[in-house]
């Protein structure tokens, strides 16, 4: 059965015992007040709100979906009311800049709270989730007037916002984009074109929607260098005290009928001479949009984490109650007609796999969210740059690796439920459907892999990557000499060697084979994802070992340590396998020429 428990203990562990976030906040202006208690209270409040208001709408929203009705999009029953309560409770303002009415919470706290909302109702959470990306883009690139006009309303949740990139003929390749922006002579532009797959493109949850639209100016060069960014509100913000007034020539032509995330309005949008204003400089739209794309890629990792947590809770609850056959070593519950399936080794393997991936995802996301806070607020420029570079390097790994592993975790929830997982009543098949999109939007896994290898590693001469590997290697060397840590240190050192060698091989191959990166990319990304997660698990194991050595009897630490061992024994070996597959490079692909695929 679908269920969700807010993992407050593990969240607190990662935030405070692993990352020491509160100490970091003490040195970041504006974040000093975010101490352990405040963060715990915020997370607990988000759990209460999400479990009360959002979770009960999750399955019903999936069944009902969104529809075009009376010239606009209608969200599932209860969604609009839940959104009003969400705004009244101040949740949209949590991560917002205080200059625009926000509460200025650290990015890592925002990530933790988003994890909870996505876990309880991903379709609904797509609405405020998309607005967050648009908010960040306007904050970074909007003019002072644009910021004053839109940010307070987005931050308060009064209005929502979207990102309009994709068109029917262009998704991964935005260079093909056709939407036009014609100067109107008064500083504004008329935007005309068709956009597709726009999350929250239209709905009845807020009186106005601020669209950030990519379009081409009349004299723009072809390709991605000729794309500009525009802010295009659904209603022109004139009239009574800036409230939504004049319709702005746009319509949702359809809501996509999708595999999952049916509560989210994924719209085909038509802009017909809609009034828009340039954000940033002409032809720099894609670069500016990348602020939003990067934040959203981290956000996709948060989605996978939240839904993964729901999948794990659901499977765990079911495995404790479902009775089938006796445990291999003899009856564990002789009072019952059979033992709970959690007694079977293979079921425990599945549950541990879920637990390990979910906890790894939490560590990776919170660590990088804290890097966002450092990037924004560290006093030292060197620290800010280091945080920005680490984020840039690992964002494609978060997006690509965690969205794939989230899908594994969700799929296991079905397997633990057996045939009961395949029927809709138990709610776990919805997680699989909802989570599948995470591997597609914000750039597919192949797009992430290409970004990782070409832009983040090869174009940088491997500097950032080598630095990361050196850090892991130093950790591994120290760990090898520590009580209880040797097994982690040895495996990490071996994995570093393997992946660093592989990186060199791919770099070499890329010099004379145009397709070398494409052939190895996804497997390389997966291998690196495993290495980074294993490193984080080893750090968590070290904390747990120290607490146990200090006499703690909290079973949480024993559980963390056992999960770390499980990761190294059962999951990290996949890294070697991916590296081997990546090494086969083009040879394994070009053995079958394209025309033979049709035979
Ligand atoms: C539920 C949902 C919500 C969405 N929300 C939004 C939104 O709010 N705003 C928005 O603008 N868009 C949105 N999208 C669109 C999404 O970003 C695109 O679907 C995505 O970028 C992929 O583009 P595409 O679908 O056109 O696939 P294509 O680009 O046609 O790709 C098809 C396949 O080809 C592969 N491929 C393409 N190029 C390469 C290459 N160079 N190397 C290797 N492989 C390649 C891809 O990896 C993929 O497997 C949403 C999509 C979904 C499903």
Q: Report whether 121 contacts 67 (CB < 8 A).
A: no
CA distance 164 to 80: 22
388 is a domain residue: yes
**What pLDDT does 238 receive?**
66
Mutate-to-test residue for ligand 1 from 165, 169, 407, 441, highest number of ligand atoms within 8 A of CB: 441
Q: In the numeric block, which tokens belong to residue 392?
A: 């840039």
Specify burial of residue 388 (Cβ count, 10 A radius: 0-12, 13-18, 19+): middle
Q: What is the largest CA-CA distance in the chain?
A: 83
Q: Say how far apart CA 365 and CA 301 lie, in whole Å.
A: 7
Task: Decide if pLDDT at 49 tops 80.
Answer: yes
Closest CA to 373 of 137, 31, 39, 38: 31
Q: Report the pLDDT value the prediction gives residue 245, as an integer from 0 to 100.
A: 75
Query: What does the pLDDT read at residue 239?
Result: 56
Could you report the per-residue pLDDT of 150-169, keeping only the tens digit for each?
Answer: 999 999 999 999 999 999 99
Return the residue whose CA atom lies nearest to atom 45 of ligand 1: 446
Q: What is the 3-state secondary structure (H, E, C) of 114-142?
A: HHHHHHHCHHHHHHHHHHHHHHHHHHHHC
| 98 domain residue, yes or no | no
Taking CA atoms only, the protein residue closest to ligand 1 atom 7 is: 198
- pLDDT over 60 (residue 484): yes
Is pLDDT of 279 > 70?
yes
Residue 592: pLDDT over 90: no
Q: Residue 589: which pLDDT band, with cuts at 50, 70 and 90?
A: confident
Ligand 1: centre distance to CA 170 (Å): 8
pLDDT attached to residue 599: 81
Instruction: Point out the ligand 1 atom lying closest to the alpha carbon of residue 446.
Output: 47
> Distances from the Cα of 488 to the Cαs of 13, 144, 529, in angstroms?
20, 51, 16
pLDDT at 536: 98
DSSP, residue by residue, 317-368: HHHHH-B-S--TTS-S-TTSSS-BGGGSHHHHHHHHHHHHHHHHHHHHHHHH
| Residue 284 belongs to some domain of the structure | no
Are β-strands 160-164 and 209-215 bridged in parallel, bridged antiparallel, or unpaired? parallel
Q: Which whole number is the average pLDDT over 454-460? A: 95
Instruction: Give the closest residue (by CA) to ligand 1 atom 24.
Output: 171
Coil/strand/helix, residue 186: coil
Tens digit of each residue's pLDDT (9 = 90 or more) over 189-207: 999 999 999 999 999 999 9
Mean pLDDT value across residues 172-185: 97
- The mean pLDDT of the chain is 95
To the query of whether residue 442 is one of the catalytic residues in this protein, the response is yes
Tokens representing residue 116 in the block: 């909870």
Residue 444 has pLDDT above 70, yes or no: yes
Rounded distance between C-alpha atoms, residue 567 and residue 390, angstroms: 23
Cβ pair 456, 392 in contact under 8 A = yes
Burial class (CB in 10 A: 0-12, 13-18, 19+), 490: middle
Q: Which of 172, 176, 442 to mutate to test the pocket of ligand 1 (most atoms within 8 A of CB)?
A: 172
Tokens for 140, please give them. Answer: 């970074």
> Ligand 1 center to residue 475 CA distance, Å?
38
Q: How far apart are CA 566 and CA 363, in angstroms?
A: 16
For residue 286 the two structure tokens come to 């894609």
Radius of gyration of the chain (CA): 24
DSSP structure string for 487-542 = HHHHHHHHHHHHHHHHHHHHHHHHHH-TTHHHHHHHHHHHHHHHHHHHHHHHHHHH
Identify the pLDDT of residue 585: 82
- Is the pLDDT assigned to residue 66 strictly greater than 90? yes
List C-alpha distances in Å: 481 to 466, 474, 490, 560: 23, 12, 10, 21
Report CA(439)–ligand 1 centroid distance (Å). Answer: 9
SS3 251: strand
Angle at CA of residue 110, ends 86 and 53, nearest 5°: 25
- Residue 513, in any domain of the structure: yes
Structure tokens at 410: 């969700």
d(CA 129, CA 111): 11
What's phi and psi for 594, nearest 5 deg? -50, -40
Confidence of residue 292 (pLDDT cuts 50, 70, 90): confident
Examine the pLDDT at 5 and tell me if it is beyond 90.
yes
Q: Closest residue (by CA) to atom 30 of ligand 1?
A: 171
- Confidence label for 590 from pLDDT (cuts 50, 70 and 90): confident
Instruction: Report the distance separating Cα 457 and Cα 500, nearest Å.
Output: 11
d(CA 359, CA 348): 16
Give a yes or no: residue 494 inside a domain: yes
Q: Is the pLDDT of residue 351 over 90?
A: yes
Residue 443 backbone phi and psi in degrees, to 5: 95, 125
Q: For residues 529 and 182, give the distance between their C-alpha atoms in angstroms, rounded to a whole number.
A: 44
Q: Is the pLDDT of residue 317 over 90?
A: yes
Which ligand 1 atom minimizes the distance to the CA of 261? Answer: 1
Total domains in the fold of the chain? 1
Residue range of the domain that includes 480: 299-309+373-583
Distance in Å, CA 167 to ligand 1 centroid: 10
Q: Which helix H or strand E contains 69, and what residues bound it?
A: strand 67-69
Active-site residue, selected from the candidate residues 17, 343, 442, 471: 442
**Is residue 83 in a domain?**
no
Q: What is the pLDDT of residue 210?
A: 97
- Model confidence over 391-423: pLDDT tens digits? 999 999 999 999 999 999 999 999 999 999 999
CA distance 189 to 175: 21
Give me the percent of the chain exceeding a pLDDT of 90: 93
In a domain, 459, yes or no: yes
Q: Reduce the DSSP state of residue 182 to 3 states and report it.
A: strand
pLDDT at 293: 80
Interval between CA 349 and ligand 1 midpoint (Å): 34
Asked if residue 544 belongs to a domain, the reply is yes
Give me the residue label for tokens 């090494």: 583
* Residues having CB within 6 Å of any atom of ligand 1: 130, 162-166, 171-172, 197-199, 258, 261, 266, 437, 440-441, 443-444, 446-447, 450, 518
């Amino acid at each position: 059965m679908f269920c969700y428990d807010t993992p407050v203990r593990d969240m607190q562990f990662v935030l405070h015992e692993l990352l020491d976030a509160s100490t970091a906040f003490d040195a970041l202006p504006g974040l000093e007040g975010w101490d352990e208690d405040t963060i715990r209270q915020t997370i607990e409040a988000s759990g209460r709100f999400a479990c009360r208001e959002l979770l009960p709408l999750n399955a019903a929203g999936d069944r009902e979906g969104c529809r075009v009705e009376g010239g606009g999009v209608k969200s599932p029953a209860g969604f609009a009311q839940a959104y009003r309560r969400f705004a009244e409770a101040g949740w949209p303002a949590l991560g917002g800049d205080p200059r625009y009415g926000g509460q200025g919470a650290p990015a890592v706290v925002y990530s933790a709270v988003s994890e909870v909302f996505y876990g309880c109702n991903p379709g609904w959470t797509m609405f405020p989730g998309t607005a967050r990306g648009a908010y960040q883009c306007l904050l970074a690139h909007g003019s002072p007037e644009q910021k004053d006009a839109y940010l307070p309303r987005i931050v308060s949740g009064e209005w929502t916002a979207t990102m309009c990139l994709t068109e029917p003929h262009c998704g991964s390749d935005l260079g093909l984009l056709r939407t036009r922006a014609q100067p109107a002579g008064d500083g504004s532009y008329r935007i005309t074109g068709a956009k597709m797959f726009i999350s929250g493109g239209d709905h009845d949850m807020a009186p106005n929607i601020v669209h950030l639209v990519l379009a081409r100016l009349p004299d723009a060069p072809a390709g991605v260098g000729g794309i500009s960014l525009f802010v295009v509100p659904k209603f022109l913000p004139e009239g009574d005290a800036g409230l939504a007034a004049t319709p702005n020539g746009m319509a949702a032509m359809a809501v996509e009928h999708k595999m999952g995330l049916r509560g989210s309005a994924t719209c085909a949008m038509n802009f017909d001479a809609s009034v828009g204003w340039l954000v940033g400089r002409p032809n720099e739209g894609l670069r500016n949009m990348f602020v939003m794309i990067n934040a959203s890629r981290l956000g996709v990792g948060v989605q996978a984490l939240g839904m993964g947590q729901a999948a794990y809770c659901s499977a765990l609850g079911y495995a404790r109650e479902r009775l089938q056959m006796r445990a291999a070593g003899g009856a564990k519950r002789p009072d019952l007609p059979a033992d709970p399936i959690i007694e079977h080794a293979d079921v425990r393997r599945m549950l541990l796999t879920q637990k390990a991936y979910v906890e790894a995802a939490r560590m990776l996301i919170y660590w990088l969210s804290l890097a966002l806070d450092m990037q924004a607020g560290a006093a030292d420029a060197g620290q800010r740059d280091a945080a920005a570079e680490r984020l840039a390097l690992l964002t494609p790994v978060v997006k690509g690796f965690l969205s794939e592993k989230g899908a594994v975790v969700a799929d296991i929830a079905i397997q633990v439920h057996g045939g009961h997982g395949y029927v809709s009543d138990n709610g776990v098949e919805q997680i699989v459907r909802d989570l599948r999109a995470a591997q597609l939007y914000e750039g597919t896994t192949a797009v992430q892999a290409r970004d990782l290898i070409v832009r983040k590693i090869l174009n940088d001469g491997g500097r950032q990557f080598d630095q990361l590997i050196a850090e892991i290697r130093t950790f591994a060397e120290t760990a090898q000499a520590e009580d209880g840590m040797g097994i982690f240190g040895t495996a990490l050192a071996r994995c570093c060697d393997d992946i660093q060698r592989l990186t060199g091989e791919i770099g070499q191959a890329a010099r004379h084979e145009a397709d070398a990166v494409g052939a190895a990319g996804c497997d390389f990304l997966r291998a690196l994802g495993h290495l980074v997660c294993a490193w984080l698990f080893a750090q968590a194991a070290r904390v747990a070992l120290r607490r146990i050595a200090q006499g703690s009897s909290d079973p949480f630490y024993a559980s963390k340590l056992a999960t770390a061992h499980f990761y190294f024994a059962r999951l990290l070996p996949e890294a070697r396998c991916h590296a081997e597959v990546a090494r086969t490079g083009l040879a394994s692909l070009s053995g079958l020429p394209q025309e033979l695929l049709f035979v």
